Amino acid sequence: MSASKKYTTIHYHNYLELDKLLSAQNPRSKAIAEEAHDETLFIIMHQVYELWFKQIIHELDSVCDMFSADKINEENMNMVLLRLKRVSEILELVIKQIYVMETLTPLDFLDFRDYLFPASGFQSMQFRMIESTLGLREEDRLTYNGHSYKIVFTEEQQERLTKIENSGSLFTLIESWLERTPFLQFNDFNFLSDYKDAVDRMLEKEMANINQSPYLSDKMKGMRLKMLGDSNTYFKHVLSEEEHEKMMANGECRLSYKATLAALLINLYREKPILNIPYNILMELMNIDELLTTWRYRHAQMVLRMIGNKIGTGGSSGYDYLAKTAEKHKIFKDLHNISSLLIPRSELPDLPDNLRSGLGFAYTKS
């Protein structure tokens, strides 16, 4: 018989280690000269960010652990979704915290900015860990004054970041999970073949509607037909594995061909009960990517407001560098691009009865 749990009492103050926590705000302005009132806010804001970053890492590590198994326990998928949603909610919150930071005026910031050199948010180890855990590769990052982003960290920290990069990011784990989707070829049902036929039918209908429209001039018809394209335009990288491989080699996409097809199938048949949670997991990954982009952009705007075109305290180009990361440091862009491959529900290929039953909650009367 296992020993019963022993419960002890503890005070709120001690449980949260508030003496340690509340004594960690030490304005440098006070230590060096006259205390700048708003430096305390600046310190607390960044400490709160780091606490939230710690929680995000805690959630992402648990999700990665669940996806790392050779055979993923499907019962964990709802837990994965909830933890990814928690990450999204935290990111929503850290974006809103910028509004509190912006109560600090540029002139108030100048009261203590000189004491910060060369400290910089660029040196946030935890934020870099979040990026790497999600799947931001070093080759996809902007360089830091021509150097690797790791240059600002200690040798031990650099090794830790390299280990995260090499141990399998959430991107690579999700890619492998998608590649194992069993419904791309199911008995007589070939998703790719049926999807191609559906795309051709859809495009033929839309072309006919454009050509027959009495409200469009010939010039407008030509423009719309060009915008519509055909199965050799933006559909080509999913209809041709060879074309997809070329795009991957050119850096135009990153997600493997099979994983892209699986993500497309999940998006198209999202209402099927078995595909609903996988669909929402993909949506939550896109939400996280979008929220990180929003946070980077808002951070850049805040920096522009605070210091204009001055160099950042860590030596970066300040606003320009931050604004460029918002555009470049995207991780799950391939999932967003699935939208260009969607077709109307009315055009979806019919699923065989046995597959439709397998994707739903089948009930048979005994």
Distance of CA 333 to the CA centre of its chain: 8
Tell which wins on pLDDT, 199 or 25. 25
Max Cα-Cα span within the chain: 85
How does residue 38 score in pLDDT terms, banded at 50, 70 and 90?
A: very high
pLDDT > 70? residue 352: yes
Q: Which pLDDT score is estimated for 366?
A: 45
Got the DSSP string for 263-308?
HHHHHHTTTSHHHHHHHHHHHHHHHHHHHHHHHHHHHHHHHHHHHT
Smallest CA-to-CA distance from 98 within 52, 150, 35 is with 52
C-beta neighbour count of 157 within 10 angstroms: 15
pLDDT > 80? residue 144: no
> Could you identify the residue written with the tokens 């018989």?
1
> Using CA atoms, how far apart are residues 288 and 91, in angstroms rounded to an integer?
8
| DSSP category for residue 144 | B
Domains and CATH numbers, the chain: 14-358 (1.20.58.480)
Q: Which pLDDT score is estimated for 3?
A: 58
> Using CA atoms, how far apart are residues 298 and 269, in angstroms rounded to an integer?
35
